[in-house]
A = this chain, B = another copy of it.
Amino acid sequence: MDSRRAEAFSDGVFAIAITLLALSLRLPGPSVAHPTLADQLLAAWPQYFAYVVSFLTIGIMWMNHHTMLAHVSRVDRPLLVINLLLLMAIVVIPFPTSLVADHLQHPGAGAATVAYGLVLIAASFGFAGLWIYVVTHAERLGGQAQPEALRRSIPGFTGGLLVYAAGTVVAALGAPLVALIIFGLLAVYYLFEHLPSPAGAPAAPGGHDPGRP
């Protein structure tokens, strides 16, 4: 199957999952401590914080997903299955995002953040699996074989998995806010650092991308 079709479907799923995050933006309603709407809006900072962390996380996962699939021109059945399992984790992200937003200032913040971390770990396993499959089957999938350059990128990429695991442990130990800051910082880090581009070199300013003649 042409890889563009799998990318279009994945794009749709990423776009919907990232937009559904906005449905988790909810105000708790008036209370004695926050009688006015302005009070409630200011007190809802965990909602905004969780939204920003999850939005950046899914956004960067989308960018990395594209970079990965740009290395191949075809997809086969195993790759589609790995991709489906990866998307199954991505689509879940709005659920623990809501949990974290609703519980960050209440009992249960630790459990919510551990659930959030476990979903990010599952997504990282999906990405690691997809990347390893692409690298080891690049030639078969119509990609330019660059075994060395691609293989070297695996440890760097899967490093994110370890950071998510560390954040989850921090949340389980009773510091969910610290864990969320770690998840957010990792997203910001990935905004600047990334996978090798298809032809192994970034597009030169003013020149043509050699990987896309």
Contacts and interface: CB of A to CB of B under 8 A. Distances in A.
Interface of A: 1-2, 5, 7-9, 11-23, 25, 27, 36-38, 41, 51-52, 55-56, 59-60, 62-63, 66-67, 70, 74, 76-77, 80-81, 84, 87-88, 91-92, 94-95, 99, 103, 107-108, 110-112, 115, 139-140, 142, 191-192, 194, 197, 203, 205-206, 208-209, 212
A103 B41 CA distance: 13
Nearest to A139: B206
A31 B20 CA distance: 28
Nearest to A17: B19
A22 B95 contact: yes
Nearest to A19: B16
A120 to B, nearest CB: 15
B13 A13 contact: no
Contacts of A197: 1
A2 B13 CA distance: 20
Copies of this chain, whole number: 4
Contacts of A12: 11-12, 15-16
Contacts of A191: 81, 84
B14 A16 contact: no
A102 B23 CA distance: 16
A58 B5 CA distance: 16
A38 B1 contact: no
Contacts of A5: 7, 11, 66
Contacts of A115: 41
28 contacts: A1-B66, A1-B70, A1-B197, A2-B212, A9-B15, A9-B62, A11-B12, A12-B12, A13-B15, A16-B20, A19-B20, A19-B91, A20-B22, A21-B91, A22-B91, A22-B95, A23-B23, A37-B108, A41-B111, A52-B88, A55-B84, A55-B91, A60-B84, A63-B80, A74-B203, A76-B203, A77-B192, A81-B191
